[in-house]
Chain A
Amino acid sequence: MQQIAKEKFHIIGIQEADTDVIARPHVSYWRDAWRRFRKNKLALTAFAILGVLVILCVFAPVFSPYEYETMDSSARLSGMTLQHPFGTDKLGRDIFTRVWIGGRVSLTIGLVGALVSAVIGCIYGGIAAYFGGMVDNIMMRIVEVLISVPYLIVVILMSVVLDSKSLGTMLLAMTITGWCGTARFVRAQMLQLKSAEYTLAAQALGVSPWKTVVRHFIPNTMGVIIVSVTFDIPGYIFSEAFLSYMNLGIQPPGTSWGVLVSSAQSQFQFYPNQLIFPALMIALTMLCFTLIGDGLRDALDPKDRK
């Protein structure tokens, strides 16, 4: 056994504060969530598929030999062939290219719409629930008004007033009342949390309302918010199709998954491929978001932090 010389040791001093130091690096709530999300293989796969969809939407039309709006009278109503993997439509346009062009619109609308709804809905619902009383009363009555006024009137009027039917106008028209549902939801969920012990503790410690909502309420309602967002995505995609059907949506030659599906409906017995591919894309998007949503929920659940 080796002898250790005394001179090898020297006093470096001791500080009171050091006794409280946390040995492991501090892991923030969000970083921890990310760490756990990465472990969820299913969610990651979904994330990858969604990534592929987005990449295809962005690049496939660029590299496709066909323009999405160019007609070809010699290639009408083609089935699935090597030249046209998804077939062609009535005007001889390549459905493969059109699906990706349509995806640009549908994904944008679905994502932006759901995101805007979620953000505004969370903040609005959170504030209403936090303050309660008169504030909540007034805020909820406003939501009731917005939900009760027929949505079509608002959309028609907006396209007339703004004299535009661009993607932006449509998104504005759709989100102007679209967030109300989420707000009602979030409020209902948060009312439940309002009397939770940790809220009481936070309030007692003088935490600001904003911080209470963001740090405590939102993470604890994340699960339900995520589900509502995943439902909002196809919801927005179909609303767009309905508006396009009412001549209020995306203008020609533009197209979207919703438009492709609804225009293929009447003859889907004869040309199922025209309907299946855009419908499949909507389903795939929804699937990915559900899986990602479930992954996120698990990752974000503060109760699961270990």
Chain B
Amino acid sequence: MRKTLSFLLALVMLLSLAACGGGNTPNNNAPQGGSQDNNNGSNQPSGGAQYYNTYLGTDPTSMDISRISDTYSTAIVTNVMEGLVRLGEENGDYVMMPGDAQTWDLSDDGTVWTFHLGDNKWSDGEPVTAEQYVYSLKRSIDPETGCPNDNFLSPIKGYNEIRNNGADPDTLAVEALDEKTLQITLAYPMASFLEMCSNSIYFPLRQDKIEEYGEKYGTEPEYTIFNGPYAMTEWVHNSSITLTKNPHYWDAANVQIETVHYSILGDSSTVYNAYDTGDLDYVSTSEAEWMDKYLSDPDNNDYNQIPSQTLAYSFYNTKDELFQNANIRKAFTLAMDRAELNEMCFSGANIPTFGWINTTISVGSTNFREYAGDTIQEMIDELTAQGKTPKDLLIQGMEELGLGSDPSTLTVTFSLAGTDDWFRTYGEYLQQSYQSTLGINMEISFNDWAIFYDDVQNGNYQIAYMAWGAYYNDPYDMLSLFHTNNDAIMTGWSNAEYDKLVTEALGVQDEAKRIEMYKQAEDILLREECAVCPVLTFVSNYFYRPYVTGYSTLTFGSTGLKGMSTGARP
């Protein structure tokens, strides 16, 4: 099964919410990508000092690519390590750029990938070899390593045997044909495998260094070795990180910025203050007031907006006495005024979302939402056309369950996790709006993430809130989350027809047919069963100082700082 889960991303989003002091910016700290082309044109100004000051919301956990799962670590790793390929950008579209692999071939059956490595070197001058890739991938899949996101390796042949039947990690189908040729055999053809290879888990590792440093590998710059455009030269935990251009990097000629300084700033007002003082060259915000402030001064702030792939949603415990009933779930999904919520809680900064697949995802060249329509809005309209309200649906559901017909006898608990004022406002909004539209009593249960997660895993909740970041530009990514075999969202919901549609669609090559199958699946999920309540898609708003050029404008870009320049710095 092509498993492209990105729970991790979502989790990290959530954790970043938890981590960002008083800010209400879900994407405060998204990694920055960059490429040669962007809205500022490709003429690199020169002359100005090449240094760049940016920030992270939380200290990265480690630089060991096998042991990280947070966006903060990934943001740094992307710049200090080189993988096989990088996902770049050309005229606003993704383009695959060579990394360690200068060229690659795919076998006719679409399962055997052969990568021909160039002559990149590590920061100590040692060459990068295919054997280092083999070591790295096998290390990540070894349960002993405790790699938190090894599911990105799932397309590789042997993965399931090792993962589920305890086979030897050595049986993973990755091979060094010679010093500079790497061969990866997949369990099934997968067109987007190359994109997956830009993920940090596919980066190489040095066995000698890992054995030398042991547990300490990746904890400090002196216990880590780099093969990327930059090397980490200083890491003051919880305070700052300094990257310096790596002279051994194969494409060093295209690395403009000499020094990069990351401040670790956990509080949003500190971030704004640092940007306003000029200590930062970049700031990200989703607070309307700050956006307005920076937008009103376009000479000093280049604005760049990227809809993230992160969808905020509520989900129901379908094993719960009350939420076992589809009409009750529908009532809760339809009773929500997404536009008002966006306005009230986010000052209109995000995108109200009326389907499980968010607005940016497409199948081939067809945008999924445009094809499938705003499902939930349609459902609301249909209900209104029948002269009914969500409350009527709720009462209907209550009667089906034999709970009488008075919603005010119900007390529903809504579970939320995260230590941020943003969550509080959100919870209060939901509480008030549900109480007034459905006439029920609602209690909000706030907990720290560990307790929340424990409760959700044990089915000890009624409705809960989470956010999920899609990793791939294909509806399968989001739809597979509700497959019976997937326990990422513990709703307890299971539907054989849905499972069949989602699994089969994956193998369908005809795009028109595939998108239709996805639409049918989504209709089961929302229209018929309503197991989930999509709310909105987060939007990231980036501001750069005008002398910063070459940054990425696409969410999944992985060129990092490589193409950026501050040559126009006064």
Contacts and interface: CB of A to CB of B under 8 A. Distances in A.
Q: Is there any pair of Cβ atoms, one from A and one from B, under 8 angstroms apart in the complex? A: yes
Interface of A: 69-71, 73, 76, 90-92, 156, 160, 244-247, 251-253, 259, 262-263, 265-267, 269-270
B427 interface: yes
Interface in B116-151: none
Contacts of B289: 267, 269-270
Interface in B266-314: 268-269, 287, 289
B344 A266 contact: no
A246 B419 contact: yes
Contact of A156 (B345, B432, B448): B448
B429 interface: yes
Given A90-B345, A267-B289, A245 B425 contact: no
Given A92-B344, A245-B419, A251-B445, 6 more contacts: A71-B344, A91-B432, A247-B447, A247-B448, A252-B444, A267-B287
A266 B288 CA distance: 12
A270 B417 CA distance: 27
A274 B447 CA distance: 26
Contacts of B417: 247
Contacts of A269: 289
Interface centre among B345, B424, B447, B448, by most chain A C-beta atoms within 10 angstroms, is: B424
B446 A71 contact: no
Contacts of B448: 156, 246-247
B374 interface: no
B381 interface: no
Contact of A90 (B344, B418, B443): B344
| Overall SS of chain B's interface | helix
8 contacts: A91-B428, A251-B446, A252-B428, A262-B22, A262-B421, A263-B421, A266-B24, A266-B287
B433 interface: yes
A92 B429 CA distance: 11
Nearest to A89: B425
Given A92-B344, A160-B451, A69 B268 contact: no
Interface centre among B23, B421, B427, B447, by most chain A C-beta atoms within 10 angstroms, is: B421
Contacts of A160: 451
Q: Shortest 9 CB-CB distances between A and B: which pairs?
A: A247-B446, A263-B421, A266-B22, A270-B289, A252-B444, A252-B428, A252-B427, A265-B22, A71-B432
A266 B428 contact: no
Contacts of B424: 244, 252, 259, 263
| Overall SS of chain A's interface | loop
Contacts of A92: 344
Contacts, number: 73
B419 A251 contact: no
Interface in B1-48: 22-24
Interface string B421-447: 101110111011100000000011111
B518 to A, nearest CB: 35
B340 interface: yes
B429 to A, nearest CB: 6
B212 interface: no
Contacts of A76: 343-344
Interface in B338-353: 340, 343-345, 347
A245 to B, nearest CB: 6
Contact of A69 (B23, B425, B432, B446): B432
Given A91-B344, A266-B269, A71 B429 contact: yes
A33 to B, nearest CB: 44
A253 B433 CA distance: 12
Given A247-B446, A267-B289, A253 B344 contact: no
Nearest to B337: A73
A101 to B, nearest CB: 13
A105 to B, nearest CB: 14
B432 A245 contact: no
A70 B435 CA distance: 10
Contact of B421 (A73, A156, A245): A245
Contacts of A247: 417-419, 423, 446-448
Contacts of A253: 428, 431-432, 444
A145 B447 CA distance: 27
